[in-house]
């Protein structure tokens, strides 16, 4: 697509304060966002971090999008309504979340608003993308800036297997070529991402959700990050 990416939605630069819990044993950044392509484990990790820190949790709700199943059946015909629904839904969720208690010690979300334009560039044709840009740039909202973004990485082959295992019927319509493009788009997004501290996690071989050792190692990395770009690439467990 030849059109330029949309201008970023206006956001506040004030961060949610990092308030340590009693004893400080599980101190976390005030606002954590988990990101990565479909099937990589964003929601599962967000839920586990929320349980660990007792934080407020914000999750995407793709099941509410009435166009999503039809999009996977025919991306060309249903890309624009699917994308616009997600854009309005994500903005509404973040606005409602912002109005809630900002003084919770930790807040955790499984999506970054910037991902919306990533999907738009992949799925929309030129005319649709220009219309999407117009809608996107008209939005004027104040959003808290994450204290940490965790980007989960895994190759398309791993994602395909995880999507198959979780058994959502219409997700089985996802094609390998589409996942390859999505993985590459995420790689490019976070290669250039400098807005917040970033932790890049190799999620292909380790089991952050079910392995306590892997999860505790990740927590140690999270606690140590204050700025910059970091990588978490542990060796998989061996028998």
Residue 183 belongs to what domain range?
A: 31-232
In a domain, 19, yes or no: no
The pLDDT of residue 3: 45
Q: CA–CA separation, 83 vs 110, rounded Å?
A: 17
Domain of residue 202, CATH code = 3.40.50.300
Strand partners, 42: none
What does the block give as tokens for 31?
């606002």
Does residue 10 belong to any structural domain of this protein? Answer: no
Residue 20 inside a domain? The answer is no
Between CA 160 and CA 163 the distance in angstroms is: 5
For 15, which DSSP code?
A: B
pLDDT in tens, 125-134: 999 999 999 9
Tell me which DSSP letter residue 107 carries: E
Please give the tally of structural domains in the chain.
1
Within 10 angstroms of residue 167's Cβ, the number of other Cβ atoms is 8
Question: Does residue 3 fall inside a structural domain?
Answer: no
For helices 176-191 and 156-166, angle between their N-to-C axes, nearest 10 degrees: 120
Spatial CA neighbour of 151 closest among 220, 219, 197:
197
Has residue 16 been placed in a domain? Answer: no
Average pLDDT over residues 215-230: 90
Q: Is residue 179 part of a domain?
A: yes
Residue 17 lies in a domain: no
Q: How confident is the model at residue 190 (pLDDT cuts 50, 70, 90)?
A: very high
Q: What is the DSSP string of 177-216?
A: HHHHHHHHHHHHHHHS--SS-EEEEE-SS--TTT-HHHHH
- State the pLDDT confidence band at 120, using cuts at 50, 70 and 90: very high
pTM, rounded to two decimals:
0.84
Alpha carbon dihedral 11, 47, 147, 185, in 10-degree steps, equals -70
67-98 pLDDT, tens digit each = 999 999 999 999 999 999 999 999 999 888 87
- Contact between 81 and 100 (Cβ < 8 Å): no
What does the alpha-carbon distance between residue 38 and residue 68 come to, in Å, rounded to a whole number?
13
Q: Is residue 60 part of a domain?
A: yes
Extended beta strands in 8-130, E state: 31-35, 56-58, 107-109
């Amino acid at each position: 697509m030849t059109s330029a990416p949309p201008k970023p939605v206006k956001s506040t630069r004030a961060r949610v304060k990092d308030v340590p819990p009693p004893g400080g044993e599980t101190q976390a950044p005030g606002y954590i966002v988990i990101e990565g392509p479909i099937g990589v484990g964003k929601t599962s990790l967000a839920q586990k971090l929320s349980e660990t820190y007792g934080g407020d949790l914000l999750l995407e709700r793709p099941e509410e999008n009435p166009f999503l199943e039809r999009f996977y059946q025919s991306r060309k015909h249903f890309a624009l309504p699917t994308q616009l629904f997600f854009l309005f839904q994500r903005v509404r969720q973040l606005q409602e979340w912002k109005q809630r208690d900002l003084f919770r010690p930790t807040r955790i979300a499984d999506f970054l608003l910037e991902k919306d334009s990533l999907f738009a560039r992949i799925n929309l044709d030129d005319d649709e993308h220009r219309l999407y840009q117009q809608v996107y740039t008209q939005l004027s909202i104040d959003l808290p800036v994450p204290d940490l973004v965790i980007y989960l990485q895994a190759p398309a082959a791993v994602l395909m297997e995880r999507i198959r295992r979780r058994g959502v019927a219409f997700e089985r319509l996802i094609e390998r070529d589409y996942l390859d493009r999505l993985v590459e788009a995420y790689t490019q997004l976070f290669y250039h991402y400098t807005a917040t501290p970033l932790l890049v996690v190799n999620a292909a071989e380790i089991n952050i959700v079910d392995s306590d050792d892997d999860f505790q190692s990740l927590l140690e990395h999270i606690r140590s990050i204050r700025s910059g770009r970091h990588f978490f690439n542990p060796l998989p467990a061996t028998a």
